[in-house]
Chain A
């Protein structure tokens, strides 16, 4: 019987209600319960998609006592959806989670930060010991290594981030770029916020209905441009996001060509996320103009996701190998002859 066990619920087995109930449970509460049960080492990982408790327990207990504990603190029925793992399986799971292999978007990096926070929280609460320290530090290390050594975390997975990445491939740092947004709908706002997060030099909104455009511009601290003048805005804008609800294309080739002569060859990036399209297709044929439609961005997202998927096998292998290392170390510790992790790391590359 391994002293290490893991109990939790995650998005993988549905359990939305259970997760919701657990999401509001404070870690302190769980730590208190665990201490009362005589557990000295535990780490609680709580995110939108999972709630997991990793604990080291010397006492022989009935199987499932931990699940009961969870039910107690959450006040809800979690028994059916909770999973229980021990020993090597628990280690493997943790390493897999840290590597982003259990996330909705494979390879995402937020989980790594969340694991780190969970570990530090436990440390601050005095609930860590040698085993959990080493295990979590190794898990974080493995998470980083998997993302570095494989392409599991490469390639943005949302249309907005893909657009930003493309913009950066054209302009470099976006801090000197001007963005013009045509339309004031939800998609326009979302992409605008992404651009703002990159600290673009200037953001201008131009909408057919002046009030809506101005309202959005105010909320984003951006400039407003009357719809009738939007074509002149093409001159100074480096990035144009077209997201009006118009039936027919509003950005014509003529207007863009005219703007391009005044831009003297500076690149222009047009993102057309409207359906039906807002920008005439022929615009892409102009020199130094790059027109990406929604389907192009989605295709890139799909490619990135499948590329990530393709890396899963390699990532799993790496995470698994590191997990096995740690498992061996835990066992050696229990047997009183502690292996040196540093050496084994070198041996395994």
Chain B
């Protein structure tokens, strides 16, 4: 089974499957994101929708098979990464094999250097170590060889953990998501201004919205700011209070209260009518006589986002995008049908027929200047105990990729062998950045090292092109 997971083909398929599924999920309306679009889609394509529904395409990211793919990927990573020491790349077969055969070791490295030193064996060995340490290298291991002694020096050795961390991070993130899935909850709580609502997931908690305000940019319907003064009580005792807005939620014991949205349910306190230059406030269901006529007008129904459908007047959503108020008329001998007036468009007027049919009508002698709707604040309550885990995992991913790609790991095998009373130094160099990047640096490094070791021969550099890792 491990063989399957370690096979490259399998990993490619797994990765491609997850990528493809994720992409498809953005093209099909998701229930969580846009329920109306999903409903519309289902209405328009009933056959396809049945098929999609079967596969869970309308909630793709929580479908059993998608989560299964993610879990499989996590398992795959665990098996591949944890089963062997931190992974090496294509050209390094040995992580820690210590060949004492000079040629074999050196030939494995793309860069080789050779020079003779006047220093006797022990001093040369010590000096070589000192010289490299001065260049920022860490002596990773040293050991005796049949002829002399050898050591391994590395720089930025941390880089080898980069890939390991980056992969493990994925597992950590999924673990955090799993914790959230099991222990966390999300609830959207609409609370009318001045009223309260209890949480479904934590019934002892009650949310009070004392005040909700929304401000618009001058002359537009673009919101500038909207906020609720929120109080949370547990069993009558006050837990916390805060004025929350988007980007500034309230946090109680890990449960966070977000100002998500707002809207109007249809209730309103009053409307303001304009006749000529005179503004009159008309509370809901109150009647006022229209000057010079026997009729009284009453504002009875409001639609926050008016839309005219076959069935008659309706609201497309709870957003105050197209507020309209219906006015009914009392008194007088003639029966006047109800009229709809629009806050955004004072010239527009519709008359509602018996069956609810709407037709254009001439304006009454007053305009709808403003509405004072009763707003509800849409508070999103979210409890995500896995967040810190996911955050840690993300941090690991970032650190891992930074280490992997920005650090430049170098490794030198240094073999010192006696030659007469002096010694001969052979060096093999490898770099995680690939041979051509390291070439100049290696040459320079060797020159410096040789200079410090009482050289009695020139520096011989050679290249041994191997399949490069990067």
* Residue ranges of A at the interface with B (Cβ–Cβ < 8 Å): 176, 178, 201-202, 236, 262-264, 266
Contact = CB atoms under 8 A, between A and B. Distances in A.
Nearest to A235: B467
Contacts of B435: 176
A235 B90 CA distance: 16
B374 to A, nearest CB: 68
Given A176-B435, A176-B436, A236 B90 contact: no
A201 B463 contact: yes
B364 interface: no
Contacts of B463: 176, 201
Given A178-B465, A266-B467, 4 more contacts: A176-B463, A202-B465, A262-B467, A264-B467
Contacts of A236: 465
Interface in B452-470: 463, 465, 467
The secondary structure that dominates the A interface is mixed
A266 B470 CA distance: 12
A236 B467 CA distance: 8
Contact of B467 (A201, A202, A263): A263
Contacts of A176: 435-436, 463, 465
B436 A264 contact: no
Interface in B427-442: 435-436
12 contacts: A176-B435, A176-B436, A176-B463, A176-B465, A201-B463, A201-B465, A236-B465, A262-B467, A263-B467, A264-B90, A264-B467, A266-B467
Contacts, number: 14
A178 B436 CA distance: 14
A264 B470 CA distance: 12
A201 B436 CA distance: 12
Nearest to A238: B465
B40 to A, nearest CB: 47
A244 B435 CA distance: 33
A264 B91 CA distance: 12
A201 to B, nearest CB: 5
A99 B463 CA distance: 41
A108 to B, nearest CB: 33
Nearest to A236: B465
A220 to B, nearest CB: 17
A178 B465 CA distance: 8
A202 to B, nearest CB: 8
A202 B466 CA distance: 12
Contacts of A266: 467
Nearest to B466: A236
Contacts of B436: 176
A262 B466 CA distance: 11
B200 to A, nearest CB: 57
9 cross-chain pairs, A with B, having the tightest CB-CB distances, nearest first = A201-B463, A264-B467, A176-B465, A201-B465, A178-B465, A176-B436, A176-B463, A176-B435, A263-B467
A121 to B, nearest CB: 37
Interface in B370-395: none
Nearest to B468: A266
Contacts of A262: 467
Nearest to A263: B467
Nearest to A172: B436
B48 to A, nearest CB: 40
Contacts of A263: 467
A176 B463 CA distance: 8
Contacts of A201: 463, 465
Contacts of A178: 465
A266 B467 CA distance: 8
A262 B465 CA distance: 14
Nearest to A265: B467
A176 B435 CA distance: 9
A135 B243 CA distance: 89
B355 to A, nearest CB: 72
Nearest to B462: A201
Nearest to A201: B463
A199 to B, nearest CB: 11
A38 to B, nearest CB: 57
B81 to A, nearest CB: 23
Contacts of A264: 90, 467
**Interface-centre pick from B90, B435, B436, B465 (highest chain A CB count, 10 A):** B465
Contacts of B465: 176, 178, 201-202, 236
A236 B107 CA distance: 14
Nearest to B435: A176
A25 to B, nearest CB: 44
A266 B463 CA distance: 18
Interface string B401-437: 0000000000000000000000000000000000110
Interface in B63-111: 90
Nearest to B436: A176
B467 to A, nearest CB: 6
A240 to B, nearest CB: 15
